[in-house]
Amino acid sequence: MPTKPGDIHEANAHLIGTWLQLLATGAYFVYLPHCVLIMTKKVRQGLSPWLPAACFFIFVGTVLDFVVGLIRTYQGYAVHGSTPITPGDLYSNPSTPLSLIKNAMNVVVALLSDIIIVYRTFIVWNMNVWIILAPLGLFLGNTAVGIWAVWTLAQTSPGAIPILAAVSVRIRYFFIITFVLNLLCSGLICFKIWRIQSMVPRDGGVDRSSTSRVLELIIESAGIYCAHLFILIVTNGLSTNFFFMFLDPLPPVGAYVFSMLIVRARATNEERGTTMASTTIQFRHTVSTRQALSVGVELDLERDVDARAGPQMFHRTGSDAYSTEDKNRM
């Protein structure tokens, strides 16, 4: 299959993509047992089964994509008698059953990640229907585009150059919408966090380490996932086979980010000595003249509580909760 000067051969791009997928899947499997334990405990405590179900389907999609990728790699590079190895022949037919399964899993796992962040945004904003209209519209539109892309792939004739075929344009639309959706939801979540943290008194020696705050916000808003999507969009727009290097590891990257958030939040809660939500960003605030105060933003997939945890009684006004003492200091 011909390649333009400076580009990588598609078979080589898929081979490197398989290596990256191995690394990303390994990182995901590191967090997976912890995630399962957390989900099991949460279900026993009365957590709605939708989140464990989402975790399960993400796991199934990621593993199926991984297995199919390994099978395709073996088919492309295995030696059969005296027949020369021609991996390019395998990838020159993008409409094979295994190719359709693998690309369908790319779409399914991405859509699962999308609906999770849409729902989290909905909960963080206290189930405000108006806030969720745009993200939900993007999700529904992206679902249609994803189905369209897989259907177009099935219609692609053998011998076509995938990066230049019509399916490449469809999948670019899909990733652009996914990127915008995740960026929008992440921005809404970050704005919610910033709005709550702006209410924190600044005269009590609050630890506001810029590095830790930025890192926590990036992790919380799935910045790693958005960066990966951006690379896919750029490489696809340039019509370079480097696109396939980053397409193959997409499902485990999404699964890794999702599981890491759950495990990281649990570890943070245990350090704080309390049982809170499955996604939490906390900032600590200690004042020498009063009892230690922990300032936190609790983002629960079941409910939303913006809390300054302390011994005081809590009052709720609008969408933000705060204590009587803190209210008087603002």
What pLDDT, on a 0 to 100 scale, did the predictor assign at position 127?
Answer: 85
Query: Which pTM value belongs to this model?
Result: 0.76
Q: Sorting pLDDT into bands at 50, 70 and 90, what band is 203? A: low
Q: What is the DSSP letter of 281?
A: E
How do residues 22-49 score in pLDDT, each as one tens digit?
A: 999 999 999 899 888 888 888 888 777 8
- The predicted model gives 57-70 an average pLDDT of 94
- The predicted model gives 247-251 an average pLDDT of 94
Q: Are 251 and 106 spatial neighbours (Cβ–Cβ below 8 Å)?
A: yes
Q: Sorting pLDDT into bands at 50, 70 and 90, what band is 174? A: very high
What pLDDT, on a 0 to 100 scale, did the predictor assign at position 23?
Answer: 95
Q: Are 62 and 28 spatial neighbours (Cβ–Cβ below 8 Å)?
A: yes
The residue among 202 and 181 whose pLDDT is bigger is: 181
What pLDDT, on a 0 to 100 scale, did the predictor assign at position 275?
Answer: 39
What pLDDT, on a 0 to 100 scale, did the predictor assign at position 265?
Answer: 64
Q: Sorting pLDDT into bands at 50, 70 and 90, what band is 232? A: very high
* Segment of 81-95, 179-193, 240-254 carrying the highest mean pLDDT: 240-254
Percent of the residues in the chain that have a pLDDT greater than 90, as a whole number: 32
Instruction: Name residue, tokens 């921005």.
Output: 187
* Segment of 1-5, 40-44, 181-185, 223-227 carrying the highest mean pLDDT: 181-185
State the chain's mean pLDDT as an integer.
75
Measured CA to CA, the distance from residue 42 to residue 155 in angstroms comes to 44
- The predicted model gives 301-326 an average pLDDT of 39
Q: What is the DSSP letter of 323?
A: E
Structure tokens at 49: 């089964």
The residue among 201 and 157 whose pLDDT is bigger is: 157
- The predicted model gives 299-327 an average pLDDT of 40
Q: Sorting pLDDT into bands at 50, 70 and 90, what band is 304? A: very low
Cβ-based burial of 318 (10 A; exposed 0-12, middle 13-18, buried ≥19) = exposed
Structure tokens at 264: 């990281």
What pLDDT, on a 0 to 100 scale, did the predictor assign at position 236?
Answer: 92
Q: Sorting pLDDT into bands at 50, 70 and 90, what band is 224? A: confident
Alpha-carbon separation of residue 267 from 2, 38, 80, 110, 260 (angstroms):
50, 10, 50, 26, 10
DSSP H stretches of helix in the chain: 10-44, 50-77, 87-91, 97-124, 129-155, 166-197, 210-220, 223-237, 242-247, 250-272, 324-329
What pLDDT, on a 0 to 100 scale, did the predictor assign at position 61?
Answer: 94
Alpha-carbon separation of residue 99 from 28, 33, 153, 154, 274 (angstroms):
23, 29, 9, 9, 47
Q: Sorting pLDDT into bands at 50, 70 and 90, what band is 129? A: confident
Structure tokens at 257: 């980010």
* Segment of 10-14, 64-68, 222-226, 266-270 carrying the highest mean pLDDT: 64-68
What pLDDT, on a 0 to 100 scale, did the predictor assign at position 176?
Answer: 95
The residue among 294 and 184 whose pLDDT is bigger is: 184
Q: Sorting pLDDT into bands at 50, 70 and 90, what band is 290? A: very low
